[in-house]
A and B are shown apart, each in its own frame.
Chain A
Amino acid sequence: MTRFAMLAGGVALLSFMWGCATPPPPDTRAADEQVIRETETEWAKAAAAKDVERFMSFYADDASLFAPGTPTATGKEAIRKGTETLFATPGFSLSFQTVKVEVSRGGDLAYCSGTYAMTMNDPKGKPVNDKGKYVAVYRKEPDGAWKAVADINNSDLPAPAPPPKKK
């Protein structure tokens, strides 16, 4: 009986240790990066088409948009309002290009940075070109889709000169 117990105990211990050596979860970062780059390409297509619905679909419900010249807009309703106004601006066009993507080890959070080019007409109807840079933070939702939770950009071009004061 004692030898049996010892043998059973030994087998149990070895099996437990072997079972304990579970491999770490698979590293999905390369695949995640690919998906995020593809997501950004689709997002840029929506911007090029001025398709507000499609453009909005890339944001998480609790996303924040940090657009220059206006306070932070949180939530899809607020972001939609800003997007509608922007897309409706005369002469508006927007294109952007992902440069860098970094994904968390657990494949649930990521950020990317890139460049954009935007055109809008000034009050006199003349097209004004802007070039700049952006950062977007993405979260992977339970269904596996990556959605933007933070979207922020600013211009590379020098600020316009302040109006000259009359002396």
Chain B
Amino acid sequence: MTRFAMLAGSVALLSFMWGCATPPPPDTRAADERAIREIEVEADKAAAAKDLDRYVSFYADDAALFFPNTPLVTGKDAIRKTTDALFATPGFSLSFKTTKVEVSRSGDLAYSYGTNTVTMNDPKGKPLTDKGKYVAVYRKEPDGKWKVVADIGNSDLPPPAPPPKKK
């Protein structure tokens, strides 16, 4: 009986330890990075087409938009309004290109950064092109889709010189 108990105990212990050594969750980061790069390609196409619905669809409901020279815009409805006005600006065009994507080990949070080009007409109707950069933070939603939670950019170009004062 004793030998049986010892043997059963050993088998139990070894099996328990073997069962305890559960493998870590699968590393989905390469696939996540590809998914995010594809989203940015699609968003760039939506911007080129000025397809407001498609462009806004990439934002999470609680996303925040950090546009230069205007206060923070939060929530998808407000982002839609802002983007609508932007797309409607005379001479407007926007294109952007991903440089880098980094995904958390748990595959639920990520960020990207890249470069962009924005063109708009000045008050005289002359197209002005601005080159800049952006950072986007993404969250993976329960359905597995990545959505933008923070979108921020700024220009690479120095600000215009202040007007000369008459002496």
Contacts and interface: CB of A to CB of B under 8 A. Distances in A.
Interface of A: 4, 7-8, 11-20, 22, 64, 66-72, 100, 102-106, 108-111, 113, 122-123, 133-135, 137, 139, 149-150, 152-164
A106 B29 CA distance: 13
Contacts of B144: none
B16 A16 contact: yes
Contacts, number: 165
B20 A135 contact: no
B95 to A, nearest CB: 17
B160 A152 contact: no
Given A4-B4, A15-B16, A153 B156 contact: no
Contacts of B68: 68, 154-155, 159
A66 B110 CA distance: 17
B153 interface: yes
Given A19-B18, A160-B159, A109 B102 contact: yes
B70 A105 contact: no
Interface in B143-161: 149-150, 152-161
B154 A13 contact: no
Given A11-B8, A11-B11, A70-B158, A157 B69 contact: yes
Given A106-B105, A111-B150, A135 B8 contact: no
Contacts of B89: none
Contacts of A150: 111, 113, 135
Contacts of B139: 102
A30 to B, nearest CB: 15
B22 A71 contact: no
B160 A135 contact: no
B88 interface: no
A35 to B, nearest CB: 16
A163 B67 CA distance: 23
Interface string B98-140: 0100111110111101010000001000000000011101010
B142 to A, nearest CB: 12
Interface string B1-24: 000100110011111111110100
B15 A68 contact: no
B164 A163 contact: yes
6 contacts: A19-B16, A68-B154, A69-B159, A133-B66, A133-B72, A154-B68
